[in-house]
Amino acid sequence: MKAHSAVLQKGFTLMEMVVALVLLGIVSVTVTTLNGNLFLGSTEMRDVQQKTHLLQACMDQLIGIEKASGFSSISASPSPCAAGVSVTIDPSCPSNLATNLPNLPAGQQCKKVLITATGLSNPVTLLFLQ
């Protein structure tokens, strides 16, 4: 009778369930640890993205001012950009401008605008020609 009842039993033993749960726990801890390390630098990346957006907005603002009001209206004071972004204007053209832009007409006035965000090492440089 025992042989007949052993054939009809279906399912897992308690030991098989314990082993499966332990393996599942080890796999889930490993996956969580690996994914958790992916987000360690996310705050720094978010800060860089926000400052890059500020630089882009400032650059767009300066280009809009130049298009709407003309070349002479571009100035660093008052600052046309948000807080944390500084604007420096150099009224002289770079010396290598003619070699980099061979089709540039002679006698062009230019302004070199340097836009820097606090905490970013790479500034944005705009060159406005009149």
Where exactly are the structural domains of the chain? 42-129
2 contacts: CB under 8 Å, gap ≥ 6: none
Confidence of residue 43 (pLDDT cuts 50, 70, 90): confident
* Peptide bond just before 123 cis, omega within 30 deg: no
pLDDT of amino acid 27? 95
| Mean pLDDT across 94-101 | 70
pLDDT of amino acid 3? 56
pLDDT higher than threshold 90 for residue 18? yes
Q: How many CB atoms lie under 10 A from the CB of residue 85?
A: 22
| Mean pLDDT across 5-9 | 62
Q: How far is CA 129 from CA 15, 19, 97, 105, in A?
A: 80, 74, 11, 10
- Whether this model's pTM surpasses 0.95: no
Long-range CB pairs of 112-116 (<8 Å, 24+ gap) are 113/62, 113/74, 113/87, 113/88, 113/89, 114/87, 114/88, 114/89, 114/90, 115/55, 115/58, 115/59, 115/62, 115/81, 115/85, 115/86, 115/87, 116/85, 116/86, 116/88
Following CA atoms 100, 90, 63, 103 in sequence, which dihedral angle do they give, to the nearest 10 degrees? -20
pLDDT of amino acid 8? 67
Confidence of residue 52 (pLDDT cuts 50, 70, 90): confident
Residue with the larger pLDDT of the pair 67 and 36:
67
Q: What percent of the chain has pLDDT over 70?
A: 88
